[in-house]
Chain A
Amino acid sequence: MVASPSATAHKLHACIAPADVLVDERRTLYRLAADLFAPGTELSDNLADHPIVRYEIGRTLAGHGDLDVARLHEVAALRVRHAGLPVAADPRSAELLEAPLRIIAPPGVKPMPLTEADGERFEAVLQVVADGIRLFRELAPETADDLLAHVSMLAVLKRETSGGVVSASSRYVPGIVLIDEPSLAIEVAEALVHEGAHEKFFDLAITRQFLDARAEDVEFFETSWSHARWPLEQTFAAWHAYSCLAQFALACEGRPLGKDSLLPKARERAAEIGDWLLAHEHDLRPDARWLLRAIAGEPTSLPSDVDDETAAPGFDQDSRFHVLPDVRFKRAATERVVVGRAAQPAEVFWLVDDASWVLGQLPDDGTPMALEHLLSRATGDWQVAAATAERRLSTSLGSLVATSLVAQT
């Protein structure tokens, strides 16, 4: 599998959704979750982007405890310095960033962040980080815009405590990239391509159709170079990162690289992983399959998930529909709607186009609306024939009823 030189990852990402759209939708999802667990809680953009805030909300969405709003305020007070990205600088970073430091730690190792308490050593590293981010933007400006939009914070690990971690990120604490204490700007730039690709993937995975529960039942991929075994999600994430690194390698040709650089190996590894993924593509959801095929240079036309002629259920003309009382939703700038129900654990759904429209029509107070009325509005708003509107309406209502977001009376 060889990626097309013209089909660069940032352009393909933007075909799914531009970076600013993805970030807005991600914030909308976290704001909905905060409102589900602590009604009335409003998150600023900065708080919605904060990795530890997202960790705390993610834990609650996973059903692991309640949301502690005071804790969100506490972690948001983490002091950062600016080097092109916010860099954790607070002397309390080891405490406030305990979760990512624990998750990425090799066995028996306790990585410690470098902070302002380390004086000149921190200031020197901050300069290398700033130079690395500047270099990334010079070498691959579009890729930098595309990936760094998903990185909210960087933390630098003291070299003597990093235990061999060169760079790391975690799906459980999205938005933060951790790197070993760098010597060279190019090391920082490469780490941000690598981990920024993971952060991009995390945002794609929670806003688009990438993976679902079946991913956990798929056989593992085994790398030829280390014989590590990865589940499907990790395999896709690694392929995505290696694909971005392979493209970044082209921009770095002729430059000295860091001693741990993956750039010379990236294209070959992306190809190996990509071939395995193509053989398992039916276990990926449609947007992941599309991205895989697009980067691989394979045809991207995929069969529909929804059979237009048979998927739409029939509803009696005198049917009435209402939003169930425990359902809350928020609308992103794109008009896509994310819906949640405060169950244990909470259930969250993205609504696509027509379903978003339907939920927007139904009264917030749960008052039922007649199908006939919905159909009349849909025919006008969508500017389609009544039969087409009826079929589209039935498809959306069928899914909304099946997921217990809307009830029929």
Chain B
Amino acid sequence: MTNLNQPVRPLRPVPPSGPQLPCPPGADRWTGQPVVPVDWFRRMPNGGTTYRRQLM
């Protein structure tokens, strides 16, 4: 099912370098929720979230 017109682009991982910061909560087993619902697809904010520069 691969579209030959769209070869796989190798991703270039970004190393987490730079200032040392406390881990975000989701990266810490003891502060995040063990089971996180994904309700993104069921939400319909603003009837359709589109960003147009002339409105911003």
Contact = CB atoms under 8 A, between A and B. Distances in A.
Contacts of B1: 42-44, 46-47, 72-73, 76
A212 B56 contact: no
Contacts of A392: 29
Contacts of A62: 41-42, 44
Contact of A352 (B2, B26, B55): B26
Interface string A40-70: 0011111101100000001001110000000
A44 B2 contact: yes
B31 to A, nearest CB: 4
B30 A216 contact: no
A86 B6 contact: yes
Contact of A18 (B8, B14, B24, B31): B14
A118 interface: no
B19 A7 contact: yes
Contact of B43 (A166, A215, A260): A215
Nearest to B27: A16
A262 B2 contact: no
Interface in B32-49: 32-46, 48-49
Contact of A399 (B23, B35, B40, B48): B35
Contact of B51 (A86, A169, A396): A169
Interface string A96-111: 0000000110100000
A92 interface: no
B53 A260 contact: yes
Chain B contact-residue range equals 35 or more
A302 B55 contact: no
Contacts of A29: 38
Contact of B37 (A17, A63, A301, A403): A403
The B interface is mostly helix, strand or loop, or mixed, namely loop
Given A29-B38, A50-B6, A226-B56, A231 B45 contact: yes
B25 A106 contact: no
A350 interface: yes
Nearest to A232: B45
B53 to A, nearest CB: 4
Contacts of B18: 6-8, 11
A233 B43 contact: yes
Contact of B3 (A50, A198, A206, A306): A50
Interface in A270-295: 286-287, 289-291, 294
Which of A10, A171, A345 has most chain B Cβ within 10 Å? Answer: A171
A233 B49 contact: yes
Interface of B: 1-3, 5-8, 11-19, 21-27, 29-46, 48-56
Given A208-B26, A216-B45, A305-B31, 6 more contacts: A11-B18, A18-B16, A45-B8, A80-B5, A170-B50, A286-B25
21 contacts: A8-B18, A11-B14, A14-B16, A23-B11, A72-B1, A164-B52, A165-B53, A194-B51, A208-B24, A262-B53, A286-B31, A301-B22, A305-B32, A345-B41, A347-B37, A348-B41, A350-B35, A351-B34, A352-B26, A352-B33, A399-B33
